[in-house]
Amino acid sequence: MSETVQIVLGFLFLAGVFILTRFIIAFMMKRASGFIIRDLEKQGAFDPVTAIDLPYTKQNLLRIGMRNYHAKAMEDMLSQGVVAKTGGGKYYLQARSSHEHAEGSGDMGSQRPT
């Protein structure tokens, strides 16, 4: 096999490994997000009064063992408005009803043609 073909195959393999790792990280983040949402629902954290402390969402200074995706998933959900954080560092699920009502309020059937 020529040297050029080996270099091209090496780059293709490297690109394939990079893309595969991106998919694995996305899967792990989605799994961690689902775990956090289920935990908040199970403990009934739906407003600031019932907010709970989630110890696994804190960054660990000593990174020993497997990578923890919970902290990064929580950051993403906070930025997207799925989860909210109280001043005391506790978490709760945001009310989804206002978003669902906003989508349903644009009823095209109620408009009359002129």
Measure the CA angle with vertex 49, ends 46 and 53; round to 5°. 75
Class of domain 3-104: mainly alpha
For position 62, what pLDDT does the model report? 67
Residue 58's pLDDT is 72
pLDDT of residue 15: 97
> 100 with 92: CB under 8 angstroms?
no
Task: Tell me the whole-structure pTM to 2 decimals.
Answer: 0.69
Write down the domain spans for the chain: 3-104
pLDDT at residue number 96: 61
At 28 the pLDDT is 93
Q: Are 40 and 51 in contact (CB under 8 A)?
A: no
The pLDDT profile of the chain, 114 residues, written as one tens digit per residue, is 899 999 999 999 999 999 999 999 999 999 999 999 999 999 988 989 999 998 877 766 666 656 778 888 888 999 998 999 998 889 999 866 444 333 443 444 444 344
Residue 18 pLDDT: 97
pLDDT of residue 105: 39
